[in-house]
A and B are shown apart, each in its own frame.
Chain A
Amino acid sequence: MKKITTLVVAAILCLYLNTVFSQTNTALTVSGTIRNTAGEPLSGASVTNTRTGKGTVTNASGAFTINEVRERDKLRISYIGYAAQTVTANKDNPLNIVLKDATNELDKVVVQAYGTTSQRLATGNIGVVRSEDIAKQPVMNPLQALQGMVPGVVVTNTSGYANGPVKIEIRGRNSINDKFTSDPLYVIDGVPLTILDLMQQDSYQYGSKGTIQSGIQSPANGQSPFFNINPQDIESVEILKDADATALYGSRGANGVILITTKKGKNGKTDADLKLTTGYSQVPRFNKMLNTEQYLAMRREALSNDGLAVNINTAPDLTEWDTTRYTDWQKYLWGGNGKTMDAELSVSGGNAFTSFRVGANYHYQADITASTGSYKRAGLSANINHSSVNNRFKLSLTSLFSKTLSDMRFLPSVLTSPPNAPDVYNKEGKLNFIGWRPLANLYNFGTILRPYNSNTYILNNGLLLSYQLMQGLILKANLGYSNGRTDQFTQVPIASQNPDANPTGNANLGNSFFENYIIEPQVEYSRFIGSGKLTALVGGSLQTNNTKSNVLSGYGYVKDGTMDNIGTAPSIYASNTEVQYKYVAAFGRLNYILKNRYIFNFNFRRDGSSRFGPGHRFGNFGSAGGAWIFSEEKWMHTGLPFISYGKLRGSYGLTGSDPSYDNQYLSRWTYANALYNNIQPLLPNNHTDSTLHWQVNKKTEIALDLGFFKDVISFSASWYSNRCDNQIVPFPTPAFTGFTSVTSNSPANVRNTGWEFMLKGNIINKKLMQWTSSFQIGINRNKLIAYPNLSQSPYASLYVVGQSLNIVKVLHNTGVDPQTGLYTFEDKTGDGKITIDYRGKTVDDRYIIDLSPKFDGCFINNLNFRNWNINLTFYFRKQRQLNDLFSLKAAGGISNQLTDVLKRWQTPGDITTVARFTTNPGSDISYSNFGSSDAVYSDASFIRLQNLFLSYTLPEKLFNGKGIKNCAVFIQGQNLFLLTRYKGIDPEIPGFGNMPMLRVVNLGISAKF
């Protein structure tokens, strides 16, 4: 460790000395001060002599002095976030220069790892989503607003619930371990948001359980911590993708990094912003299910096919139930409208030394489902910035606090309930188990009476301190603390259960708590050396995460109404879990910008993780990146003048990850919760691999950024290749070894390669009318490139070398045999029978289907005309997924079906795609084979009108003198229409019976006072 730091010091020293000796006196010395339009001095701004390339940086009060200047030399003044200016040097000293805020996308501030940059100067790949893009989307969870906005970032809603986990995958799936999520590292105002997977219930497919770590199941399968973050408080979201951008996060950056920066106070008179929104949500599409007449016909036909008589044993739904009833269970279940309401108020202002912003927000959203339920969020955000009079000391404190209440129900799975089933409630208004006899076991509405509540509090505090010790040298410290707590409450009252089963009630209380501390001291030094500007950063990071949970369950209640007190339960179960995770790192960055066109960037990080055993804890990560802004070359100005901006950049680097549960390297025993022979027994806990070590990601990127016609049109293309090896997996072991898995490094090597393109144009840019249009797309290919000895591994049946990790193996359905009416499949091996070898040891009749998205992206149009603004965002994705036909695999039982079954085979000679009805799917293997065939996977590509935003700004003169500015009324819609060939209701949430994404339409008003 020490060696490396000495090296860094030596490097800085050499470069410094070099410049000291090369300085010579010249005739002209120019000095001046640089300020922004608000009059604040800009410290660290660059002043470059364009003739020599030499320059200087401003000190704390924005002042600079530059030597070796000849008269009429051009001085270029630049500062990140401001439009660069060129002034001509003359004897009139000192110069007073005012820089204006950048309007060009290329020069706007982009947050990067431990600092800021701009798209013009960045050597890494950083995608940005700004507050104005987020504000247009009526989403409760800010992660949902990222969908399609940045190429290479696939955002997937894992459920239709507002608080459900949102899965984010940046540039494809790295890990073969399907127990760990693809989530990137999330950093909110400098504080990493980490929640440990206490219950080991996370998965690649469904994402993280989030704030719910008690093990108590929630209807949405977890809760996203970002459900507690108000999207309107966010200034920008930066998504770091390649090695250059992520290497400073070392082992935490392997899956990419998402930096969330909240809104800050601004120097100026005190303003208040108010925004009120109200609207509704509903399920946009429904499955076409059989009506009663069709259902009854299906049942009779199935019974007759099976040679069964219709009687109480074979078909109680036909003999015991009223066959004239009809209920559309889908409409019953989720046919309602949900109301939403949102109010935002923020006040900001300040002077040159101190500025503030305080915001408050409230959001209410009622559930659309048959049973009651709602989501509420109330939040407070506060920011204060201060700088000392000499501008050397700076402080910025940001604090977010929010509370959410989710009142939910597990959705009864009733889509397949027979349409002639009896009422949900009986005459006394109680659940109608008895009316459903003898099929009371099909009555799934018990969940209506089973309350589920979760209350979540999240607090996030970030404090950034800096002190400018001398010109170019800044000491910084990033301190942060966040915590979150979720209380869950569920009950299963006796009244919600089938009385025939002599039920008893149970009640569960669970709470989950997490906290993150971070301390990151840093030193940043910048100065001109030779013909370029050097910036060096050295820092350390110390992070601690504690995650704990408690569960208290009471069982065996014989009376409802006593269940609020767990203490009165006949049997009580309690458990608590606590895990700590610590992480320490030292990091450094060297950035050198030569002549404003050659940029070199080196990152280094040494990391230690408590997840590994002694001797395996530390890992070294780093990257090297470079960029060439060729549009700055003179020959470009003359040769290809229409290219206003051109940059070629590339990077290569290593990042790591430790996707593992804690303590896995330790061989552990745990105490049983009961005695044997008056001894509290110890039980072995796990297999152990003491050599468990870092998983390594190697990332390569090459990219080209172009701007045409004064950046009216911009284009960028990136190519990347990421490889991940030493994969940490819960390696399955046979149960006879004692346990079914061991956490270990697997020899799998997974590669993701892909392209990302972005094309943007300011098609019309007139005073009364502006139209911008942008198109972006990310294409990723995932491939298992090596797995030594795969056939001897437990993954033999799951993966194939040379294929994606997201494959399924399926038979090829060749339709229905016209003679027998049974599904037929291709005998690929030609051995005369249809075989599926689930062990993966022999060649069987299955083909491979890749379920990875092939590409996804977004097409955005924004049009301003006078006071009108309209924004249309289309999101598209190409993929293949499980479709709803899975449910067709054996139609004819006591279960309603899609109307597709009406095409079924009836008599010999029928050519169709749906097999004959049967009440006994076990009667022929072909029925279950159908569920493992390509018939149930189909194209699930779609184009969604993700967002429509229309606003009208009321003319200012209406409020003349009343202090109201920028008053606008707007309408916003989410998920307004869907174009797809998918056989199901929502290709993003595949699987029959899942609640689809809701359609949301909001109406709102915003104003500034």
Chain B
Amino acid sequence: MKKLYIYIAILCSIISITSCKKLIEIKPSTGFVITDQVFKNTDDATAAVAGMFYKMGSTGVNYANAGSTIFCGLSADELMLFTSSQDSYVQFQTNSLNASNGLVLSSFWSPAFSVIYEANAVIAGLERSLISDSTKNRLKANALFARAFTNFYLTSYFGAIPLVTTINYRESSLLSRTSTENIYTQIVKDLVEAQNYLPENYNNAGGLRIEPTKWAAKALLARVYLYQKDWANAEAEATDLINNTSLFSLMANLNDVFLTTSKEAIWQIQPNKKQSPFFANQEAINFIPFPSQATSAPNFVITPELLAQFETGDLRLRDWTGQTSYQSQSYIYPYKYKLGKAAQSASTPFTECNTALRLAEQWLIRAEARAEKNNLNGALEDLNRIRARAGLDNKRIETKEEMLAAIYREKQIEFFAEWGHRWFDLKRWGIASQILGPIKASTWQETDQVYPLPSSELQTGPNLDQNAGY
């Protein structure tokens, strides 16, 4: 009988051994790195930082890859749809967005907040990391820049937005919205810190301007100061960039402005190459008619209102727009980027890059700041610098009002179909209703200046509220 107990005892101990924790250790599933590992070494931490910019350049049409250009261009007076078949696009053109319009979520809100999450994750991860301080600071500065850049666009579309600075969803999901003024304050804070640690030049990426530098932070700062009507600081930051002639200069040939070799570029976003032609530079893909550049139907055409603003002889009309004939009708489309769907293949070398910040903007920022400060001569000098490059005569101007009007028009032409500048400027200058009211006729409302928050967010975010008019 004793045998029995022995057997039972042996068996029981076998079972208790078998239930030890080791047996449910699984081999890690393919293709992921645990967060704690990511920030243990410089390589992975650098890869995490690259992830933010990769996202901007990759996921189809998003805020940083043609999204601002196309949708804000439709909302403003720059672009028109060739066909009205897709209601979600039409809603942008007629300024009658629905909160349930999927593009608001998928092109703006989600990709932008996904970059902000990654920036916050990098910042949080680096805090616990043991890698060297200098590397840590540089990487963190990249994250701060990406966060500031993204917050700038978000608040430009939506007005007040949740200011997310944590990856803890329990805290962030309870956020309510923060006003645009306070978002700007955060952006300035992030950029001021970032510029101290970002590189001074483009040597890191072998001359490509696809990593943020101190200069990119300053360029964005100049823009945000301008938006805040802080003329003095805007002028100061712009001047710093303009004076750095060893790195930056306006390209004499307009066709060189958006190339990877452009000395005008302050910061460019590298389009994702591998999955070309599906996810490459979306501006060229969307604007250049396919399969034939000269005889296929375009997707987007330049509005008559915009075309009317070009002066005779403006080289920008020659170099930055294209023309196609479709069913014996001629259409003009934006042609700043030259490599359309037909030209892009896996073997296409990178010759042009999505240019987010360029020197011409700094000239116009300084012109506007100077004009607002009544330094009309200084403003005129800056303005004429941009006009000269476009092959236009120098302007002669007497009053501040004339000066500002000239700058507004120059900004409209120089930055047409580029990152939503026109839409943001119209709102910032307070002339959106005045300009768009007559063009958009019955569909324009004062409240259309901000896009609606995606309706699904209002279901999941208990403390969010909707913009007026939606």
Contacts and interface: CB of A to CB of B under 8 A. Distances in A.
Interface of A: 1-2, 5-6, 8-9, 12-13, 16, 469-470, 473, 475, 502, 521, 523, 525, 538-540, 542, 555, 570-571, 573, 576-586, 606, 608-610, 614, 617, 662-663, 666-677, 679-685, 687, 732-740, 742, 792-794, 796-797, 838-840
A680 B454 contact: no
A681 B12 contact: no
B148 to A, nearest CB: 16
Contacts of B464: 734
Nearest to A734: B461
B164 A737 contact: yes
B205 A677 contact: yes
Contact of A666 (B14, B34, B44): B34
B47 A681 contact: yes
B368 interface: no
Contact of B34 (A473, A581, A667, A793): A667
Contacts of A584: 18-19, 23-24
A682 B44 contact: yes
Contacts of A667: 34-36
Nearest to A575: B31
Contacts of A570: 345
A838 B24 contact: no
The winner among A12, A473, A538, A668 for most chain B CB atoms within 10 A is A668
Q: Which of B21, B27, B29, B208 has the most CB of A within 10 A?
A: B29
B16 A586 contact: yes
Contacts of B462: 792-793
Given A608-B19, A677-B208, A792-B462, 14 more contacts: A1-B19, A5-B13, A9-B9, A475-B11, A608-B21, A663-B32, A672-B58, A673-B275, A675-B274, A682-B44, A684-B121, A735-B113, A737-B117, A838-B459
A197 B130 CA distance: 37
A375 to B, nearest CB: 33
Nearest to B278: A571
B388 interface: no
B17 to A, nearest CB: 9
A663 B29 contact: yes
B83 interface: no
B418 interface: no
A666 B110 CA distance: 22
Contacts of B23: 542, 582, 584, 608
A459 to B, nearest CB: 23
Which label, helix, strand, loop or mixed, suits the secondary structure of the B interface?
A: helix
Interface string B328-351: 000000000000000001100000
15 contacts: A5-B15, A475-B11, A555-B278, A580-B26, A580-B29, A586-B15, A609-B24, A667-B34, A684-B35, A684-B48, A735-B460, A736-B457, A738-B116, A738-B169, A838-B459
Contacts of B208: 677
A953 to B, nearest CB: 51
B54 A683 contact: yes
Given A617-B24, A669-B35, A733 B460 contact: yes
Given A540-B18, A663-B29, A9 B5 contact: yes
B308 interface: no
Given A734-B457, A738-B169, A838-B459, A676 B35 contact: no
B129 interface: no
Lowest 10 CB-CB distances: which A-B pairs, in order?
A: A738-B117, A674-B274, A734-B461, A5-B12, A681-B51, A667-B35, A676-B54, A681-B54, A681-B50, A540-B15
Contact of A677 (B116, B211, B457): B211
A737 B169 contact: yes
B15 A675 contact: no
A797 B30 contact: no
Given A676-B50, A684-B118, A581 B274 contact: no
B25 interface: yes
B32 A668 contact: yes
B201 interface: no
Contact of B11 (A521, A579, A684, A792): A521
B109 A735 contact: yes
B179 interface: no
B20 to A, nearest CB: 8
Contacts of B75: none
Contacts of B205: 677
A538 B5 CA distance: 13
Contacts of A473: 4, 7
Nearest to B466: A839
B7 A469 contact: yes
Contacts of B57: 676
B14 A540 contact: yes
B270 A677 contact: yes
A502 B12 contact: no
A446 to B, nearest CB: 19
Interface in B131-178: 161-162, 164, 167, 169, 172-173, 175
Contacts of A578: 29-30
Interface in B299-334: none
Contacts of B252: none
Contacts of B218: none
A794 B27 contact: no
Contact of A736 (B7, B14, B54, B109): B109
Contacts of B16: 1-2, 5, 586
B102 interface: no
Contacts of B34: 666-669
B108 to A, nearest CB: 11
Interface in B441-465: 454-462, 464
B177 to A, nearest CB: 10
Contacts of B114: 735, 738-739
Contacts of A573: 275
Contact of B26 (A9, A582, A683, A735): A582
A797 B459 contact: yes
A670 to B, nearest CB: 5
Contact of B110 (A1, A581, A674, A735): A735
B291 to A, nearest CB: 6
A682 B48 contact: yes
Contacts of B167: 684, 687, 738
Interface string B260-300: 00000000001011110110000000000011000000000
Nearest to A840: B459
B8 interface: yes
Nearest to A3: B16
B32 A585 contact: no
A521 B14 contact: yes
Contacts of B424: none
B24 A610 contact: yes
A473 B3 CA distance: 11
A798 to B, nearest CB: 9
A542 B25 CA distance: 12
B455 A838 contact: yes
B404 interface: no
Nearest to A731: B169
Given A13-B5, A681-B47, A681-B54, A735 B456 contact: yes
Contacts of B118: 683-684, 738
A737 B32 contact: no
A648 to B, nearest CB: 33
Interface in B18-67: 18-19, 21, 23-36, 38, 44, 46-48, 50-51, 53-55, 57-58
Nearest to A796: B459
B367 to A, nearest CB: 33
Nearest to B112: A736
Nearest to B210: A677
Nearest to B111: A735
Contacts of B31: 577, 670-671
Contacts of B33: 668-671, 682
Contact of B12 (A9, A608, A679): A9
A541 to B, nearest CB: 9
Contacts of B234: none
